[in-house]
Amino acid sequence: MGRRGRQAGLRAAGSRPCYPPAMTADPLAALEDAAARDPENPARYRALADAYRAKGEPAEAMAAELAATALEARAPLALYNIGTACFQAGRRDQAKRWYGLALRLDPELVGAHRNLAAILEAEGRLDEAQRHRDAAYRRQSIFVEPAPAAAQRILILAAAGTGNVPIEDLFPKATATRITWFVDYAKEGDADRLPPHDLVFNAAGDPDRTGPLLPEVERFLARRTAPLLNPPAAVARTQRHLLPQLLAGIADIDVPKVVRVGRAALADSGVAADVGFPLILRPAGAHGGQGVRLIETAEALAAADPGEADSFYLTAYRDYRSPDQYFRKYRMIFVDREPYAFHLAISQHWLVHYFSADMLQPSWKRAEEERFLADPAHALGAKAMAAIAAIGRRLDLDFCGIDFSLDAEGRVLVFEANATMVVHLRDAPELFPYKHVHVPKIFAAVAAMVDQRIAAHAR
């Protein structure tokens, strides 16, 4: 059916007779059920808006009211905007609802497919996420976010999905026109359609997610004239199973053994025995601790549910508890190979992430983090700081980072070192005032590096 015929069919569907609500003791649940079964009927959302207002949920009521108006106007972009407002507010279930409804009206709405893919990937629904990514980026792979005319023009080579350098914080919209090219969907002729740019920044920081460069990207890189930061070949060396070899010979570090295996090898006791137990099982390409488990025995590894991933890393586990029985994970960012302290997370669990480490309580955690940010050399010691600096030089990337701890001998225990490290300044200044003193040094260093590279190229 053609586009016009499909839209006509959708308009006709909007005039279907109402179904009776399902039998339930909860009136709101009955209205939600009716809307789910008759999703393009504006009256359903008007009724939902009234019910949410009566329940004292004005945000939900407003969204339902706006959705009813959008459906009456057959306006998919309005539904997309409702979904995006929910997405930005962290209300992912509501965002999925409105994006899905927008796609019922316009199945080719690229933005809705992009954001739905991100939400579904975060939920571990990888196959569904991939379908939406394909629907988005096969239609459009180049996106331009214009800034004021005098701003720098940065071409960002990105990968669809997770695993990119955090460009939103490194290149704010107010100061840089961002031209983002999703290179894993590059098509022949894309390079000729790219707008003029002053610098190329390779933000595709996770080789597990990008894979080999497509021919169109290879051709672009071979004939580009603007300076390039984070060359793909240098990024490719930072895969977890390559890191021990890459950092070999640096004094005072410990890089645990790691191997990369396919699904079938999880049942191969010989492969795991080569790493040793306990070991950490991690899906390749996963971020934020998703799917990461500590495996104690070969039997537990063979019985582990691999989920939807095809490849995995098996990493030798180190018990890195400090004498006070807390686990510490430090993060430093390398800008033009120089290290800058970003954060310290302190947790009672071996899998440390800043968002789950409860850094607000007790207060001594923030005091220790402040000391690290203010004087990392003093906090880590001269031996560890020299090792960190050597790691930055060996990685040889323009922007990257390292997560690590210190062992009982004061050596640097390396968890990962790559270009995908998140760095931001979104922590509340009244709770983390020291971050607003020290973290801006990272952004200033990035800005200075970009200015220097552009100026050197212009000479």
* Architecture category of domain 257-316 in CATH: 2-Layer Sandwich (3.30)
List of residues 6+ apart from 91 with CB closer than 8 A: none
Q: Is 9 exposed, middle or buried (0-12, 13-18, 19+ CB in 10 A)?
A: exposed
SS3 of residue 266 by DSSP: helix
pLDDT of 305 reads 82
Give the span between the Cα atoms of 285 and 127, in whole angstroms.
14
Instruction: Provide the pairing of β-strand 253-254 with 228-229.
Output: unpaired
Query: What percent of the chain has pLDDT above 90?
Result: 76
For the chain, the domains span 3-137, 142-233, 257-316, 327-451
pLDDT of 104 reads 96
pLDDT of 25 reads 57
Instruction: Provide the pairing of β-strand 176-182 with 152-158.
Output: parallel
pLDDT digits (tens, 9 = 90+) for 129-139: 999 999 999 99
CB 10 within 8 A of CB 76: no
pLDDT of 162 reads 76
Instruction: Count Cβ neighbours within 10 Å for each residue of 273-303 and write b for 16 or more, e otherwise.
Output: eebebebbbbbbbbbeebbbbebeebebbee
Query: Domain 327-451 belongs to what topology?
Result: D-amino Acid Aminotransferase; Chain A, domain 1 (3.30.470)
Token pair belonging to 53? 């207002």
pLDDT of 404 reads 98
Mean pLDDT, each 10-residue run in order, the chain (459 residues): 40 41 67 92 95 93 95 96 94 95 97 95 89 96 90 94 85 92 95 96 89 92 96 95 97 96 81 89 81 90 83 95 96 98 96 90 95 98 98 98 96 96 93 97 97 92
* Matching CATH number, 3-137, of 2.60.40.10, 1.25.40.10, 2.40.50.100, 3.40.50.920: 1.25.40.10
pLDDT of 304 reads 85
pLDDT digits (tens, 9 = 90+) for 160-177: 877 789 888 999 988 899
pLDDT of 436 reads 98
First to last CA, the chain: 57
What's this model's pTM, rounded to 2 decimal places? 0.85
